[in-house]
Amino acid sequence: MAAKKTNPEKTTLDEDTTKPSTTAPGDGPADTTDPNERASSITPQPGPEAIKVGTVNAVQPVPAEAEPEQVPEKDQRVETYTATRPDGTEVTVKHNIDTGETSVS
């Protein structure tokens, strides 16, 4: 499936791999602006119309990965340490290992 332009801000994958690619100018066949949509290459199987036009869909959507299970806040692993800024000021860095969030105070 190739990328198609549905409006100037949104590019998604085509649904039919036998039809001509509807990739918008400047977009590649696997381009998508949907953060939950991923593409995987496939062997093209163009239909007669795609052969006539000369563009082929050669990617298909891959199912989105499952969201990781959320750890309750009281059970999250958090590391806290002091660090020195370039100007010599000491700050406290707090990094949540489970969520990946880091804050400096």
Domain residue limits, the chain: 3-62, 73-104
Task: Output the average pLDDT for the chain.
Answer: 79
**pLDDT tens digits for 37-89?**
778 888 888 888 888 887 777 777 887 777 777 888 889 999 999 999 999 99
Contact 93, 83 (CB under 8 A): yes
Q: Is the pTM of this model over 0.75?
A: no
Q: Mark out the alpha helices in the chain (DSSP H runs).
A: 48-53
Contact 95, 83 (CB under 8 A): no
**More confidently predicted of 94 and 21:** 94
User: What is the pLDDT at residue 3?
Assistant: 46
Residue 7 has a pLDDT of 47
CA distance 26 to 5: 11
